């Protein structure tokens, strides 16, 4: 029992190594593997640089007016009033937000200048402060959330979205998707992802038959359940089963009755063939484009007229093919982007692609670099001490530190890239350096005759190591917190390596040295 108590630091290191082994190799850890990692022996996930894929860095389209006086009007009314004063804009392109200190109005469409927004606010009767390029922090955070949801819904495992800020204060959205070409990623993230249902129906004006469109009778916010894209057994097109919330259901039911869609026998929609001769249609509009038009079956029309549909409001969104159905489902689940990404590249945005072949080359080069670093460190240690009982535990303990970090990365699903690999190599260097300090301090005054002498020397060495660790953590913390791209991964794993070293591996190495060098162990 006393042996376990005296060597608990070594036991803690063994537990950490066993836990890392479980995280690295257990099939219950890591979730669904990314494309290209299905046959991997470990749960380690690789980032863009090691797997290949697409990286997009782009600003958001928009301008913002600060310190806008809303008075007692609702945000929705403000959005409608401002949009009415701007050409080619509707209420969905304007975001009004009340803040504790300042209220803002954002316009998120292209080609609107600060002067035009100022004129629109003045015409709508709202006083305002400074008008600047760019959107608010809230809009950027919401954009990151929606884009991450779209990537997850599309099944792009390993894809990540984050906000990054340059040294000059410019804000960008950084998207990384392994194993995907730029065109498919741009297609997924380039559109705002709006989905709505319009009613297109014939009416009579001055004795003539004309068509009207009642827009947005259902929007994304009105759906409570979105199924997966399916193909009907009879063939022909695809559909997405959806359920509608209880609040908007009666209004939609009334709208299809008033416009004649819920007529006896239902309606037959021929909008895609000739929109000027069709009966009433429900239009499925995605990103402002009509992707399909469909009528209403007799049974659904009957339930609408009898006002039974609103008691269990659900139906199917018909599309022309499975690809469109999948896109509709993704957009409905993820929601609409509050602002579009500016993918033109005019404002500092970039798109880069690393081929899978190049990524494999980076993997092999990184592995080779790691092996060379380990061999170099091992050679220096053996030359320095010439004692296997000192050098071998030092090398094993230093490598176990990297192994524990790999297990941690696998457990949380953190993708490894070149910056993280650089962090591992830095951990090897700083870790072995600290272990050398311990060995030198313990052996500096000749042989260690007792545990008491060893503990005294070890404590002196540990104070030096602790001070160096604190300095490293303080120096690296800004890089770990700020969104500075690759530097963030390097800083995070360097800090984690220092913490694991101070709390686990350095004390364990001290216990191992005590067991090997002292007589009263």
Q: Is residue 127 in a domain?
A: yes
Residues 4 and 43 in one domain: yes
Q: How far apart are CA 273 and CA 284, in angstroms?
A: 16
Q: Is residue 57 in a domain?
A: no
Residues 48 and 87 in one domain: no
pLDDT score of 446: 59
Q: Identify the domain boundary among 137, 162, 177.
A: 137
Total-model pTM: 0.65
Question: For the CA atoms of 328, 334, 335, 336, what is the dihedral angle to 10 degrees?
Answer: -80
Q: Identify the domain boundary among 300, 334, 368.
A: 334
Residues 389 and 301 in one domain: no
CATH of the domain at 320: 3.30.1360
Domain range for 163: 143-192+340-351
Residues 234 and 291 in one domain: yes
pLDDT score of 440: 79
**Among candidates 407, 405, 410, 411, which has minimal Cα distance to 490?**
405
Residues 491 and 387 in one domain: yes
Give the distance, in angstroms, between the CA of residue 240 and the centroid of all CA atoms in the same chain.
Answer: 25
CB-count burial class (<10 Å; 0-12, 13-18, 19+) for 190? middle
CATH of the domain at 76: 3.30.70
List Cα–Cα distances, 482 to 162, 169, 224, 421, in angstroms.
11, 12, 37, 20
* Token couple for 242: 């959806």
Strand order in the sheet with 131-133: 94-97, 104-107, 63-65, 131-133
pLDDT score of 36: 52
Residues 170 and 129 in one domain: no
Q: Is residue 58 in a domain?
A: no
Secondary structure class of 405 (helix, strand, coil): helix
Secondary structure class of 72 (helix, strand, coil): coil
Over the chain (521 residues), the average pLDDT of each successive run of 10 is 68 90 82 55 79 87 90 82 85 83 87 90 90 91 88 78 82 86 86 85 88 88 84 75 89 92 89 89 86 86 92 84 82 81 79 79 80 77 76 82 89 84 84 80 68 78 85 85 72 89 86 73 51
Helices (H), 277-348: 298-305, 322-334
Q: Is residue 111 in a domain?
A: yes
Q: How many domains does the chain have?
A: 4
CATH of the domain at 454: 1.20.1640.10
Q: How far apart are CA 134 and CA 112, in angstroms?
A: 12
Residues 77 and 111 in one domain: yes
């Amino acid at each position: 029992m006393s042996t376990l108590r005296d060597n608990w630091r070594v036991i803690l290191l063994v537990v950490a190594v066993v836990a890392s082994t479980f995280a690295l190799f257990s099939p219950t850890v890591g979730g669904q593997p990314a494309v290209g990692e299905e046959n991997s022996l470990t749960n380690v996930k690789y980032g863009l640089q090691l797997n290949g894929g697409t990286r997009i860095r782009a600003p958001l389209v928009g301008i913002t007016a600060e310190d806008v006086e809303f008075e007692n009007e609702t945000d929705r009314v403000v959005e409608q009033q401002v949009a009415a004063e701007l050409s080619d804009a509707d209420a969905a392109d304007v975001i009004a937000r009340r803040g504790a200190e300042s209220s803002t109005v954002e316009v998120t469409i292209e080609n609107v200048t600060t002067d035009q927004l100022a004129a629109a606010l003045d015409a709508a009767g709202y006083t305002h402060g400074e008008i600047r390029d760019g959107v608010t922090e809230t809009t950027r955070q919401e954009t990151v959330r929606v884009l991450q949801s779209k990537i997850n819904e599309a099944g792009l495992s390993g894809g990540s979205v984050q906000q990054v800020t340059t040294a000059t204060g410019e804000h960008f959205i950084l998207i990384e998707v392994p194993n995907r070409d730029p065109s498919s990623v741009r297609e997924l993230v380039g559109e705002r992802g709006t989905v709505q249902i319009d009613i297109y129906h014939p009416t009579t004006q001055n004795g003539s038959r004309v068509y009207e469109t009642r827009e947005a009778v259902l929007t994304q916010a009105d759906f409570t359940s979105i199924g997966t894209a399916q193909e009907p057994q009879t063939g022909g097109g695809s559909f997405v089963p959806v359920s509608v919330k209880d609040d908007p259901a009666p209004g939609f039911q009334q709208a299809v009755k008033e416009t004649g869609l819920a007529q006896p026998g239902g309606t037959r929609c021929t909008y895609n063939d000739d929109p000027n001769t069709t009966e009433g249609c429900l239009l499925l509009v995605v990103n402002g484009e009509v992707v399909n038009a469909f009528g209403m079956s007799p049974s659904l029309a009957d339930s609408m007229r009898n006002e039974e549909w609103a008691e269990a409001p659900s139906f199917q969104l018909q599309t022309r093919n499975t690809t469109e159905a999948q896109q509709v489902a993704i957009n409905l689940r993820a929601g609409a982007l509050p602002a579009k990404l500016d993918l033109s590249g005019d404002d500092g945005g970039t798109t880069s692609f690393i081929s899978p072949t190049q990524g494999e080359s980076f993997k092999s080069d990184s592995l080779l670099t790691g092996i060379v670093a380990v061999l170099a460190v091992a050679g220096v240690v053996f030359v320095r001490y010439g004692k296997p009982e000192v050098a071998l535990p030092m090398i094993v303990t230093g490598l176990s530190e990297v192994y524990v970090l790999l297990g941690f990365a696998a457990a949380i699903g953190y993708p490894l890239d070149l910056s993280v690999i650089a962090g591992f190599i830095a951990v090897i260097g700083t870790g072995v350096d600290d272990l050398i300090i311990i060995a030198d301090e313990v052996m500096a005054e000749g042989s260690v005759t007792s545990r008491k002498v060893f503990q005294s020397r070890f404590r002196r060495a540990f104070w030096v190591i602790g001070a160096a660790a604190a300095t490293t953590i303080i120096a690296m913390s800004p890089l770990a917190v700020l969104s500075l791209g690759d530097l963030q991964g390097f800083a995070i794993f360097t800090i984690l390596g220092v913490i694991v070293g101070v709390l686990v591996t350095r004390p364990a190495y001290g216990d191992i040295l005590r067991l090997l060098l002292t007589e009263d162990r």
